[in-house]
Structure 1
């Protein structure tokens, strides 16, 4: 396993934890599945992860820190900082996966 893959696995760990702490199950499972494949040295983890980006309702569109309680939408405290950190990790994951994919093509 190369250093970029190791770095990507670390980023995916952080993403999964962040998603789970915000109550997300769909994308946290997606990230964990990609991570598991990479840990097994399965290159399909890269293509699987990258398939989450782009299109309507994709990983790119996800915003954390929202809640809907009793018919009212609200933001959780710290949502701006949460989403800044989330955006950075999400972008880091895409860039690392893209670099790994280019090195394999």
Structure 2
């Protein structure tokens, strides 16, 4: 279902309803939400604020059956400075890069979750337009 955009003008004030594509919540979407929960927990365990907020917002959209959540997840991947470039477990002390204990395992977990989230979001997108 799609809500069409329209503008209503009353005097000098314009009101705009935005378009919204409703997501068909299925098993793949529910699995994606569960994986996003894991991803957010991993990001927050390393105090990664930007991407944890990004995926919390996408998760909220998915729970609201809003297709914008899928678009948001997919737009995080690709390009310079994208989620693909994120490495956890780093800090700087007196201007020197330091690695936190367990950073290798943390990043292996992160890479697995990145793959799962990207794959599941792509599958949900395909199902929506099948």
Provide the TM-score with structure 2 as the length reference.
0.79
Residue 47 of structure 1 and its aligned partner are, at CA, apart by 0.5
Does 2:105 align with 1:81? yes
Match among 28, 32, 44 for residue 8 of structure 1:
32
Give the RMSD, CA atoms, in angstroms. 0.7
Measure, in 2, the Cα distance between the counterparts of 1:104 and 1:66: 38
SS at match of 1:14: helix
Larger helix proportion, structure 1 or 2?
1
**How far apart, in 2, do the equivalents of 1:57 and 1:19 lie?**
16
- 1:22 corresponds to which of 40, 46, 51: 46
Aligned pair count?
105
Residue 52 of structure 2 corresponds to residue 52 of structure 1 = no
TM-score of the two chains, using structure 1 as the length reference: 0.97
In structure 1, stretches of 5+ residues that fail to align are none
Which protein shows a greater Rg? 2
- For residues 104 and 70 of structure 2, the distance between their equivalents in structure 1, rounded to whole angstroms, comes to 29
Structure 1 residue 69: Cα displacement: 1.6
Q: Which has the higher contact order (CA 8 A, sep 6+)?
A: 1
Whichever structure has more strand as a proportion of its residues is: 2
Partner residue in 2 for 1:34:
58
Task: Show structure 1 runs of 4+ deviating over 3 A.
Answer: none
For 2:79 and 2:26, the matched residues in 1 are separated by: 30
Query: What are structure 2's unaligned runs of at least 5 residues?
Result: 1-24
